[in-house]
Amino acid sequence: MEREFDRVASLLPGYEARLRALPEEVKRSTFDIRLKEGQPLCLCGSMGMLFLRKDGSVTKKQQDDLPLCGKKELRELFFEICGQSVFRHEDEIRSGFLSLRSGYRVGVCGTAVREGERVKTVKDISSLVFRIPRERRGCADRLFLQGVPMEQGVLIAGPPSSGKTTLLRDLSLALSEGRFLSPCRLAVLDERGELGGDFDLGPGADILRGYPKQAAFETALRMLSPQYLVCDELTTQDLEALRSAIFAGVAVIAAVHARREDFLQRPLCRQLLETGAFSSVVFLKDRSAPGSVCGVKSIEELFKEERRLLA
Amino acid sequence: MKYLGTILLIVSGFLAGLLKSRAFCERERALLELRRLLQRFKTEIEFASKDLGELILSSRDFPLCELASGFLKEGESPKSALTKAGKKSFQTQEDLKLFLGFLQDLGVSGTKGQLEHIDLTLGLLEGNLSKAREDIEKKSRLCLVLGSFCGVLTCLVLL
């Protein structure tokens, strides 16, 4: 039974009954539910894009008789998922997402209202993407069995929807509850409320929800004395924060958007490795198998491989 | 017996006038409560970053929010709970209109927009409040006098 899918479906009152009645296979394969103005509801996942029909069935073809999502409907839904309090989510909306109390993340798309280079707010919401978080117990076990040195820092790399957060979640739980090693203390920097969400990350995990990365790194180091710092989706803006946190006697386990094939071509990935915070990189498969590891490389191996290719 | 009846009629006329005049005071009290509530909302929105549901629950010391929290528990959305509570709390159409107007834009914009919206409502509320005070000043006394006068008049007619 796809509990997470059903819970996300309950956030969409107009579609809930039809979504809940979908076959388990469709539910399991869905990564996110997309609602776009003037378009039918769309389920995106390993089966591709599926459109929801009026009778509750799904189709891969964009047909004329599919029920479309109206502007008013989308606006009302946005207001409802904000808890009728847009002001409460102002910063998140500016960053293009909404973090709901139940731990779900909704991508928000619209027109940016700018103030110089800064996005002041987002108006005319045109689409909402409801991500379905998943817990896959045991998906990180391979890393422990393979002897990946966690205490020297691990970077998880994968394309969008490859299960980076899912793997990071299981890794955190495994460390926190001592699945392979003795239980450890972790500070989980959950900026978007997605990593911790509604999930239990075990007794050793302290979750800093909603903190910007820099503040989270500082708070974690000063107040929580963790053995591991776990954070999701590192970006260029986080480099400084990361640099300030490393060599403080704490291992960093983080995730980044990147593909195995061109990992070192991405400047951010190279910069992350150059910080010295990570000794291994875990590569994930594509979105067809979320959370599945396709390879683990040490930094030396990666650079050696690059040199060989260049030669 | 006749004198007792006369006294009773005059007193009941006076009481009816008193009751009517109390309604004017009640209106002023409700508006003052609303002003305090708006100021609370302003602080909470600016500093506590609470959503509407949390705002209602944390302001249950206000009768309006106490009423609204009951509707919330029944499964109403925060806005509709406040609408229902407002309809029960405000006696005049003028005040209810002001409150419903406030609710209409509550929660739909960012923090700055919300604070400006509350300021605007507070400004409009001052108009209603001064009118309510004027009513107390003028009409409330008139009601007492009219009530007593009606009592006396009834006595005279009956006598």
Note the pLDDT tens digit of each residue in A277-288: 999 999 998 877
Alpha helices by DSSP H, listed for B44-110, are: 52-58, 63-73, 78-89, 93-104
| ipTM (interface predicted TM) | 0.73
Q: Which residues of B touch A (CB under 8 A)?
A: 45, 49-53, 55, 77-79, 106-111, 113-114
Q: How confident is the model at residue B98 (pLDDT cuts 50, 70, 90)?
A: very high
Query: Which of these, A70, A101, A71, lies nearest to A85 by C-alpha position?
Result: A101
Amino acid identity for residue A242 in this structure: L
Cβ distance of B113 and A88 shorter than 8 Å = no
Instruction: Output the pLDDT for position A42.
Output: 95
For residues A54 and A68, what is the distance between their CA atoms, to the nearest angstrom? 10
Residue A211 distance to chain B (closest CA, Å): 14
Instruction: Output the pLDDT for position B62.
Output: 94
Cβ distance of B52 and A121 shorter than 8 Å = no
- For chain A, give every domain's residue range: 3-131, 141-310
Cβ distance of B109 and A83 shorter than 8 Å = no
Give me B19's structure tokens.
């009751």
Instruction: Output the pLDDT for position A286.
Output: 82
What's the CATH architecture for A141-310?
Answer: 3-Layer(aba) Sandwich (3.40)
Buried b (16+ CB within 10 A) or exposed e, A63-72: eeebeebeee
- For chain B, give every domain's residue range: 2-158
CB B140 within 8 Å of CB B117: no
Instruction: Output the pLDDT for position A1.
Output: 65
Instruction: Output the pLDDT for position B159.
Output: 72
CA atoms within 13 A on the CB side of A204: 22
Give me A89's structure tokens.
């989510």
Instruction: Output the pLDDT for position A214.
Output: 86
CB B28 within 8 Å of CB B134: no
Q: Which residue of B has its CA nearest to A92?
A: B110
Whether pLDDT at A28 is above 80: yes
Arithmetic mean of pLDDT, B30-48: 92
Cα end-to-end span (Å), chain B? 12
Cβ distance of A83 and B78 shorter than 8 Å = yes
Least confident among A44-53, A201-210, A302-311:
A302-311
Arithmetic mean of pLDDT, A178-182: 90
Q: How confident is the model at residue A125 (pLDDT cuts 50, 70, 90)?
A: very high
B53, B77, B114: residue with CB nearest A87: B114
Cβ distance of B114 and A82 shorter than 8 Å = no
Note the pLDDT tens digit of each residue in B57-88: 999 999 999 999 999 999 999 999 999 999 99
Q: What percent of chain A has pLDDT over 90?
A: 57
Q: Of residues B159 and A239, which shows the higher confidence score? A: A239
Interface test with B, best of A79, A87, A121 (most B CBs within 10 A): A87
Cβ distance of B50 and A88 shorter than 8 Å = yes
Q: How confident is the model at residue A128 (pLDDT cuts 50, 70, 90)?
A: very high
| Strand extents, DSSP E, B1-159 | none
Give me A184's structure tokens.
């450890």
Q: Does A113 touch chain B (CB under 8 A)?
A: no
Residues of A in contact with B109 (CB under 8 A): 86-87
Residue B50 distance to chain A (closest CA, Å): 6
Cβ distance of A85 and B52 shorter than 8 Å = yes
Q: Does A85 touch chain B (CB under 8 A)?
A: yes
Residues of A in contact with B107 (CB under 8 A): 79, 82, 84-87
Q: Which residue of A has its CA nearest to B111?
A: A87
Cβ distance of B110 and A90 shorter than 8 Å = yes
Instruction: Output the pLDDT for position A247.
Output: 79
Domain A3-131 shares a fold with domain A141-310: no
Note the pLDDT tens digit of each residue in A239-252: 888 888 787 889 99
Residue B30 distance to chain A (closest CA, Å): 25
Residue B60 distance to chain A (closest CA, Å): 18
Arithmetic mean of pLDDT, A223-243: 89
Arithmetic mean of pLDDT, A31-55: 93
A-B contacts at Cβ under 8 angstroms: 42
For residues A50 and B17, what is the distance between their CA atoms, to the nearest angstrom? 70
Q: How far is CA A224 from CA A208, A210, A239, A252, in A?
A: 10, 16, 21, 14
Q: How confident is the model at residue A262 (pLDDT cuts 50, 70, 90)?
A: confident
Residue B143 distance to chain A (closest CA, Å): 43
What's the CATH architecture for A3-131?
Answer: 2-Layer Sandwich (3.30)
Instruction: Output the pLDDT for position A226.
Output: 93
